[in-house]
Amino acid sequence: MDLQTRKLHFIESILSIGNVKVIEKLEALLKKEQQKEKSQRVSVEQYNKELDEAEAEMNRGEYISHKDFKKHMEKW
């Protein structure tokens, strides 16, 4: 079943709910998931800024090689 069909079935199920408490729980869950998704999004500008900062750190030598990091982990 494709996503669009699943959405339509879900909507039909919601329309048949007669219990206000169930609707409130579904609303709360949806709101929570939408906020989580929104907080995880990064703008193109922010993404590019973070890439520029990472590149500058590498150019300044502010990094650890994979080999050195593996050696460091072995000491843990």
Q: What pLDDT score was predicted for residue 20? A: 95
**What are the Cα distances from residue 27, in Å, to 7, 13, 22, 31, 68?**
15, 14, 9, 6, 49
Measure the CA–CA gap between 70 and 68, rounded to whole angstroms.
Answer: 5
Q: What pLDDT score was predicted for residue 76? A: 82
**Helices and strands, number each (H, E), in the chain:** 4, 0
Nearest alpha carbon to residue 1 among 9, 40, 21: 9
Task: Please tell me whether the overall predicted TM-score, pTM, comes out greater than 0.85 for this model.
Answer: no
pLDDT tens for 12-64 read: 999 999 999 999 999 999 999 998 888 777 889 989 999 999 999 999 999 88
Q: What pLDDT score was predicted for residue 75? A: 85
